[in-house]
Amino acid sequence: MNKLQGLLNDKIRANSAYYYRDELLFPEQQEQTTNCQLIIAAAHYVYESKTFFNIEKKKELSQAVAIFVRKHAPFDAYYHWYEVIPGEGGSFVIVYYIRQAHYQAIIQRQADGGIVLPEQLIVRQHSEQLCVDIVGEGGYVSDTNYRAQYVTANKTPFAQLIASGQQVEIDAFYNKLIASLSWSDLLPYVRHIHRGKHTNTGLKVKHLLAGALIAATYFGGTSAYLHFEYAQSQAQYEKNKELLQQLKRSKRQLKDIQAELVQKNQPFEDYLYSYSAFQVLEDVTVFYEIQSFTINNEEITVNGVSDNAASIFKTLSNQEEIKDLRYVRPVRKSGTQDAFTIAFKLVSKT
């Protein structure tokens, strides 16, 4: 069975490519072809939207996701995928959007049909080995709930803190990405296979995955055996449920700081305005800690504590990128530190 799975995985990897800056990139020692059955869209084409539903039933969850997809669509014309990660009392859901124009440009490379998947989806399937910093592109950090979080290349103070430290070039990354592919990763997304222009050959990938599923079922044993295995596994799970929950809570506590930094680093995901706001704070030389950060009608309000709030205000007043700088309320003492609330706007570069 393991040998068969290995052959299937090799076949999938040999028919895969990475779509990056409007070009197809192929793994080392792989022949370039004009018709890759699997194309992975680079992260800069994909917009993510995440949420948690207190729903465990599959049908109800599908209905909730469908509403969420329409409500939070970032583009008028788009294609999307979604991923469900089971959690305690519900499900974590990640929706991946890509502009329809970009999606059409990609599938034009698949005349005989195939499947397109977003980079982030594959990374989350193998987060332990793919959470790396990609030089000049951004990178991934581990996340307790969503397995991994994508961080852009904007090196704000928060991004620097959460960086994994392991840096790779883009060619090394996509080679590693494609090498991690397996047929089990693709099975949940069979519905995204398109037939291409040549309808007589457009089901190659689908046939391959269907064959994998049949083989796995056949070699796994009869349905009675599978039912017995499930019952045994369920009993073992119930026996160790409390220990597993304690382990999960411990992992969450260990990753609390990292998760908090990720959340603060990307409160307004993919909005460059918010990243620019963090960048203007890089010249501040005194200690400060941001407690809240909001944007309302282009005005940025920063609430925090510092060793010297006046020094922060003076530094920001000398920044050409800032206008309408003001104190929202007077500086007050919080122990030995200054508690401050400052508001400003960024000068438009257009």
Residue 21 shares a structural domain with residue 160: yes
C-beta pairs of 301-306 under 8 Å, 24+ apart in sequence: 301/328, 301/341, 301/342, 301/343, 302/277, 302/341, 302/342, 302/343, 303/340, 303/341, 304/339, 304/340, 305/334, 305/337, 305/338, 305/339, 305/340, 306/337, 306/338, 306/340
Residue 307 shares a structural domain with residue 184: no
Last residue of a domain, one of 200, 216, 232: 216
The pLDDT confidence band at residue 280, using thresholds 50, 70 and 90, is: confident
In a domain, 236, yes or no: no
Determine the structural domain holding residue 176 and report its residue range: 2-216
Encoding tokens for residue 233?
A: 């596994």
Last residue of a domain, one of 216, 244, 279: 216
CATH number of the domain that 284 lies in? 3.30.1360.100
The pLDDT confidence band at residue 202, using thresholds 50, 70 and 90, is: very low
The rounded percent of the chain whose pLDDT value lies above 70 is 78
To the question of pTM greater than 0.75 for the whole model, the response is no
In a domain, 241, yes or no: no
Sheet holding 78-87, edge to edge: 46-53, 90-99, 78-87
The pLDDT confidence band at residue 293, using thresholds 50, 70 and 90, is: confident
In a domain, 212, yes or no: yes
In a domain, 237, yes or no: no
Tell me how far apart the alpha carbons of residues 40 and 19 are, in angstroms, rounded to a whole number: 6
Tell me how far apart the alpha carbons of residues 305 and 334 are, in angstroms, rounded to a whole number: 8
More confident residue, 191 or 199: 191
Tell me how far apart the alpha carbons of residues 240 and 253 are, in angstroms, rounded to a whole number: 20
Tell me how far apart the alpha carbons of residues 350 and 348 are, in angstroms, rounded to a whole number: 6
| Cβ contacts of 181 within 8 Å, gap of 6 or more | 9, 12, 13, 16, 38, 122
The pLDDT confidence band at residue 84, using thresholds 50, 70 and 90, is: very high
By the 10 Å C-beta count (0-12 exposed, 13-18 middle, 19+ buried), 344 is classed as: buried
> Is the pLDDT at 206 greater than 60, yes or no?
no
Residue 63 shares a structural domain with residue 138: yes
**pLDDT (tens digit, 9 = 90+) per residue, 247-262?**
887 777 777 776 676 6
Tell me how far apart the alpha carbons of residues 46 and 214 are, in angstroms, rounded to a whole number: 32
**pLDDT (tens digit, 9 = 90+) per residue, 26-54?**
987 666 666 688 999 999 999 999 999 99
Residue 138 shares a structural domain with residue 40: yes
Give the model's pLDDT for residue 282. Answer: 78
Residue 198 shares a structural domain with residue 131: yes
In a domain, 136, yes or no: yes
| Cβ contacts of 261 within 8 Å, gap of 6 or more | 158, 161, 162
- Number of domain units in the chain: 2
Residue 307 shares a structural domain with residue 199: no
- For 67-76, 140-149, 288-297, which range has the lowest pLDDT when averaged over its residues? 288-297
